[in-house]
Amino acid sequence: MSTSQIHPGGPVVAILTAAGSGSRLGAGGPKALVRVGGVSLLRRAAGGLIDSGAVDGIVVTAPPDDVARFRAELCELSGSGQDEPSRVPIRVVAGSSASRQASVARGLEAAMEMEPGAKVVLVHDAARALTPPEVILRVVRAVQAGYEAVIPALAVTDTIKEVAPAASAGGVEAESVVGTPQRSVLRAVQTPQGFAAAALVSAHRLGAQRAEDEAQAASDDAGLVEAAGGRVVVVAGDERSLKVTTPVDLAIAEALLELETHPGTGRETRL
């Protein structure tokens, strides 16, 4: 990368995961290219990272067949790092269809190639396109302050049950509840998750054998650090960092943007 070195604590690189197909959204194309408020999730998420002022380079993981399309989608945001030193370089690489973990592993390899001296690595979901820049900054600052793994999260508002696999009785399929974790100690985890670069590289290396099987793969990167014996800490997340997963999430994201653009229209009461 060798760009303007913005951060005295060492370069900060972000991996923006966007290689998922979006089957639950069912938009008929890659989810990251779906528009909310007229702009794709991908551009909004990359723009948020840039707007935080905390990131020196971004690696995007794209669906393997869509790398060129994703590059084109981001070309206006991306700087070469030479003739436009004020802009953040963006590299698009092929992710993996096997699992998010496998996509992040590919992104991490590219990120460490882009900036071998990176001290902080963020892993962020393109699907969390409305994440406020201040959340990104909060995570980066906590890593720079010495925590090796930092995740933003919210307190849980539903009661969460643990269940056993479904069984059928009298023609009714039902799951048996096997436990109710105490709600006050539960957190709903968001992204970006921030890591000391060495800790993330080592955790991915140790967990690599899980990545090709979705059922075994870690559903977040902090889980890999935990499995490797590392310490993960939580900072405040934000409701606007919701993950666009289903059509209802997309409608909520549209409504949030509408509120931001036209505050005080009375729509607040309907949210």
Ligand X SMILES: C[C@](O)(CO)[C@H](O)COP(=O)(O)O
Ligand Y SMILES: Nc1ccn([C@@H]2O[C@H](COP(=O)(O)OP(=O)(O)OP(=O)(O)O)[C@@H](O)[C@H]2O)c(=O)n1
Contact footprint for ligand Y (CB under 6 A): 17-25, 31-32, 61, 95-97, 99-100, 103, 125-127, 243, 245
Q: Does 21 bind ligand X (CB under 6 A)?
A: no
| Residue of minimal Cβ distance to ligand Y | 20
Q: Minimum distance from CB of 127 to ligand Y (Å)? A: 4
Q: Which does 220 bind (CB under 5 to 8 A by kind): ligand Y, ligand X, none?
A: ligand X
Q: Minimum distance from CB of 109 to ligand X (Å)? A: 19
Chain-centre distance for alpha carbon 250? 16
Q: Which does 19 bind (CB under 5 to 8 A by kind): ligand X, ligand Y, none?
A: ligand Y
Closest CA to 140 of 8, 17, 230, 243: 8
Q: Minimum distance from CB of 249 to ligand Y (Å)? A: 9
Identify the residue among 100, 106, 138, 210 touching ligand X (CB under 6 A).
100
- Separation CA 239–CA 108 (nearest Å): 27
Q: Quick one: residue 266, left, alpha or beta (phi over 0 = left, psi -120 to 50 = alpha)?
A: left
Assess contact for 220 and 199: CB atoms under 8 A. Answer: no
Assess contact for 193 and 149: CB atoms under 8 A. Answer: yes
* Per-residue mark of binding to ligand X, 216-255 (x: CB under 6 A): ---xx----------------------x------------
Map tokens 């700087």 to a residue: 79
Q: Does 52 bind ligand X (CB under 6 A)?
A: no
Q: Minimum distance from CB of 102 to ligand X (Å)? A: 11
Question: Closer CB to ligand X, residue 100 or residue 240?
Answer: 100
Length of the chain: 271
Using CB under 6 A as the binding rule, the residues of this chain from 142 to 201 that contact ligand X are 189-191
- Separation CA 140–CA 104 (nearest Å): 18
Assess contact for 118 and 12: CB atoms under 8 A. Answer: yes
- Separation CA 123–CA 191 (nearest Å): 7
Question: Closer CB to ligand X, residue 148 or residue 220?
Answer: 220
Map tokens 């509408």 to a residue: 258
Q: Return residues touching ligand X (CB under 6 A).
A: 100, 125, 189-191, 219-220, 243
